[in-house]
Amino acid sequence: MYTLNVNGNVCKVENDKNMMDYLRDDLRLTSVKNGCNQGACGACSIIADGKVVRACTMKISKLEGKEIVTVEGLTEREKDVYCYAFAKCGAVQCGFCIPGMIISVKALIDQNSNPTRDDIKKGIRGNLCRCTGYAKIEEAILLSAKIFRDNDEIPKTIEIVGVGKDIIRIDAKDKAIGKAKYVDDIVVDGMVYGKAIRPPFARCKVLSINKENALKLNGVIGVYTAEDVPGKRNLGHIVQDWPVMIAVGEETRYIGDAIALVVVETKEKLEEAIKLVEIEYEQLKPVNNPREAAEENAPLIHENGNLLSLQSLKRGDVDNAMNKAKYISEYTYKTPFTEHAFLEPECAIGIPDGEGIKVITSSQGIYDEYRELTNMLGVEQGKVRIQSAYVGGGFGGKEDMSVQHHAGLLAYLTKKPVKVLLSRQESINIHPKRHAMEIYMKVACDENGKLLGMRSRIISDTGAYASLGGPVLQRACTHAAGPYNYQNVDIEGRAYYTNNPPGGAFRGFGVSQSCFAMECALNDLAEKVGITPWEIRYLNAVRPGDVLPNGQIADEGTAFVETLEAVKDIYEETDKDENRYVGIASAMKNAGLGVGVPDTGRCNIMIQDGIARIRTSAAGIGQGLQTVIFQIVCEITGLNARQVFVELPDTKYTPNSGTTTASRQTVFTGEAARRAAMKLRGALKEKSLEELDGELFVGEYSFDSDPIGSDKPNPVSHVAYGYATQVVILDKEGIVERVVAVHDIGHAINPVTSSGQVDGGVVMSLGYGLTEQFPLKDGIPQVKFGTLGLLRSVQVPIIETILIEKNKEDLAFGAKGIGEISAIPAAPAVQNAYFKKDGKFRVSLPLDDTAYKK
């Protein structure tokens, strides 16, 4: 028997166990988050006798007799202050890391009531945040400390909530104190636990499966294999090539394949049951990279061959441009796989629901899941319902099926609620990554630095399954020429299947890779011409009315040049400073699916009990979409914050607004919300909100773009493009000291949220450039969460964000989306800064021989 004091209550515990499990499962303290269960992320932080400890690494016996504090145990004053400060400063995005962060902050402020920024960075160095880039968290901590010191009152919530205001995110407070429920925080009566058995090798043949011994184990409810899937066994949003489970006699394609599913009564039984399922494998040599996959005698990973996608974009006369050129830059660049490292590992709960099922998920598109699960079960439309809980980050990594299909299938087969939660290592091994690419890039300019033409050949490692590999390659190709005004391009891309984890959507969607190559090439040309990298961009930048390399005419809202003008002084001054090295890069990024793919945003407003309830399936994954549409509806209708409520996505009520991808939701769902709100505004001229009870106001927006290869002289590939320029400054030792990020955002609906996206994107891109790695050996990831190279607070520089707002379009108030582009230019900018430092032109990421990586 062990005795603890938890949040002021004496707790007696019979048997020793893991502290995080005890707090979460037995005491239901949901502020203690399971981010990694490996001691690396700090999401499970608690205070034990005044010291911060990670609950996942502690046994109860080690904490015997100690005073334990979780966020639930803070005083009301502390909760009010932290909630207010974190919400006010825009420090809460997906929110999954925040309660653990607040615990570290409390321990810090209890010791030091007036911490400096450096004290703060050190105080939260054990807490990873993948969304915010830490800057706004640090501001929130400074504000919290001030409020405590000066005993300030917390200001009342501001009721003016229209467009362009820095309103507090609608979900920030619940997330900060651990009240917002992510899937793994939800407990359903009678819930049991499921888990997949994965192969020991990336490529092997499944010879036999014997489940008898497992079924004899007390507490095992069932063991299921491929033949138990009632409907379609192959899933996939675009190409249906990904089996729910691999059958006996078939080959696995990667380490994350599922061979069988086990369901048990208590989660402690899972590992024991899995060990009792006897599976025989024949190990086969894996295909490790696209070059091996392209070989004539390579094993076929899928029956139609190893080439998933071939993309081609040709305009003008590139040979002529190359012949006329004075200078040419020609290199082959390599970019690695990248792990999304969202803080919340994948989890889903399948629940029997009449003749069908309901699944509670944490994903980026509930209607994708609806379609996939309906197909998998072979049931009629309407028998599957998907509800979203809060989503603890996604960045593209929660678009595919990971646990949702398994939870749904197990609930359907067992007629019980079944939770499936990935361990952090499973999450790392299983979900699709940012594609590794090899990019040949040849770019030509005249004697003044005016671009004449470019040729690029891109090879993408799409891993075991298609996922979004085709569109990602396409976007890499369509953006490879950059946001510059020249017309001779010849781009070809090929994506090959391998036995590596699948490549899929990742913030940047292929542009992170091709932009790295193009921006490095541009800096190389500037060097050859003898002008600055800033000057070569200014000379070639697209301006309104110019034609982009893909043929689209840049519209009036194009503000690329303004992003360059905004960094001119800082760039030039730093360039003269012999103690600093400055690098620069720019980017463009589409909003919306574009290239002829149907794309629709939907948002309805239902009036119930005097409240305008906003309904859309658009997933909020930390980017703040729900607050954006809340502001749009308030702006148009004039309703106040208490009269409007945003529901979580649920296929039973919320209309299909597509996936949270391609920086599309602010434009597409934002515009749909604006249209629905205009209808409500019209109705409010005749009746009060109460009198409109039961009425539904429907908003929908679609955009017809032109496909790639369109014969129009100036095809419209995308509804909008955002532009950005980022400047990275290194100190003498090569440490990134400062980043200035200027973004053409169109119109910021919520400026603090937009700049928070930029902060987070910059840090992600610096990680891509300098520290993050995803080594593989025979298709098996050789990393843990703690060795991915994610930047911590103490490594993050000062980030200054400047938002350029010049788009006058009515469409979604002129917003263009900011989610992806912010995460693109810093990597090539840091490459440029290092070139300035040591003259070495690096062509691979993460950059080698730096202060971060020897």
Task: Give residue 808's identity as a one-letter amino acid code.
Answer: K
94/752 with CB nearer ligand FES: 94
Cα torsion through 516, 521, 526, 527, rounded to 10 = 100
Question: Cβ 128 to ligand FES, closest distance in Å?
Answer: 7
20/730 with CB nearer ligand FES: 20
> Residue 560: which of 828, 832, 807 has the closest Cα?
807
Q: What is the DSSP string of 70-139?
A: -GGGS-HHHHHHHHHHHHHTT--SS-TTHHHHHHHHHHHHHH-SS--HHHHHHHTTT---SSS-SHHHHH
- Using left for φ > 0, alpha for ψ between -120 and 50, and beta otherwise, residue 735 falls in beta
> Residue 442: which of 427, 457, 428 has the closest Cα?
457
Tally the residues of the chain.
854
56/521 with CB nearer ligand FES: 56
Interface residue with ligand FES, options 23, 52, 56, 454 (CB under 6 A) = 56
37/311 with CB nearer ligand FES: 37
Provide the b/e sequence for 122-147 (b: ≥16 CB within 10 Å). Answer: ebbebbbbbbbbbbbbbbbbbbbbeb
Interface residue with ligand FES, options 66, 88, 130, 211 (CB under 6 A) = 130
> Residue 638: which of 706, 684, 587 has the closest Cα?
684
The residue range among 126-134, 415-423, 575-583, 631-639 that interacts with ligand FES, by the rule CB under 6 A, is 126-134
Residue whose entry in the numeric block shows the structure tokens 């249209």: 675
Query: By CB under 6 A, is residue 131 in contact with ligand FES?
Result: yes
Q: What is the DSSP string of 206-238?
A: EEEEE-HHHHHSTTEEEEE-GGG--S-SEE-SS
CB 129 within 8 A of CB 121: no
> Residue 641: which of 180, 182, 173 has the closest Cα?
173
The residue range among 128-136, 263-271, 293-301, 547-555 that interacts with ligand FES, by the rule CB under 6 A, is 128-136
Query: By CB under 6 A, is residue 95 in contact with ligand FES?
Result: yes
CB 815 within 8 A of CB 749: yes
26: Cβ contacts below 8 Å, ≥ 6 apart: 13
Query: By CB under 6 A, is residue 422 in contact with ligand FES?
Result: no
Query: By CB under 6 A, is residue 71 in contact with ligand FES?
Result: no
CA distances from 718 to 257, 546, 696 (A): 35, 15, 31
Site for ligand FES in 188-217 (CB under 6 A): none
34/362 with CB nearer ligand FES: 34
Site for ligand FES in 594-623 (CB under 6 A): 622
Query: By CB under 6 A, is residue 393 in contact with ligand FES?
Result: yes
Site for ligand FES in 733-792 (CB under 6 A): none
Question: Cβ 363 to ligand FES, closest distance in Å?
Answer: 16
Site for ligand FES in 338-367 (CB under 6 A): 343
39/751 with CB nearer ligand FES: 39
Q: Could you give the angle at the alpha carbon of 403 between the alpha carbons of 398 and 406, nearest 5°?
A: 145
Which is it for strands 45-48 and 384-388: parallel, antiparallel or unpaired?
Answer: unpaired
Interface residue with ligand FES, options 13, 42, 193, 618 (CB under 6 A) = 42
Q: How many CB atoms lie within 10 A of CB 157?
A: 14
Q: Count of residues binding ligand FES (CB under 6 A)?
A: 25
711: Cβ contacts below 8 Å, ≥ 6 apart: none
CA distances from 463 to 178, 296, 399, 438 (A): 37, 18, 16, 14
- Report the number of secondary-structure helices (H) and strands (E) in the chain: 21, 31
As beta bridge partners, residue 18 has 59
127/552 with CB nearer ligand FES: 127
361/651 with CB nearer ligand FES: 361
The residue range among 96-104, 358-366, 478-486, 639-647 that interacts with ligand FES, by the rule CB under 6 A, is 96-104
Question: Cβ 159 to ligand FES, closest distance in Å?
Answer: 26
Question: Cβ 121 to ligand FES, closest distance in Å?
Answer: 15
Query: By CB under 6 A, is residue 705 in contact with ligand FES?
Result: no
Q: How far apart are CA 109 and CA 138, in angstroms?
A: 13
35/557 with CB nearer ligand FES: 35
Site string (619-658) toward ligand FES, x via CB under 6 A: ---x------------------------------------
Interface residue with ligand FES, options 36, 214, 308, 489 (CB under 6 A) = 36
Interface residue with ligand FES, options 30, 31, 132, 499 (CB under 6 A) = 132
Query: By CB under 6 A, is residue 85 in contact with ligand FES?
Result: no
Interface residue with ligand FES, options 5, 11, 21, 39 (CB under 6 A) = 39
Question: Cβ 67 to ligand FES, closest distance in Å?
Answer: 20
Contacts to ligand FES by CB under 6 A? 34-37, 39-44, 54, 56, 93-98, 129-132, 343, 393, 622
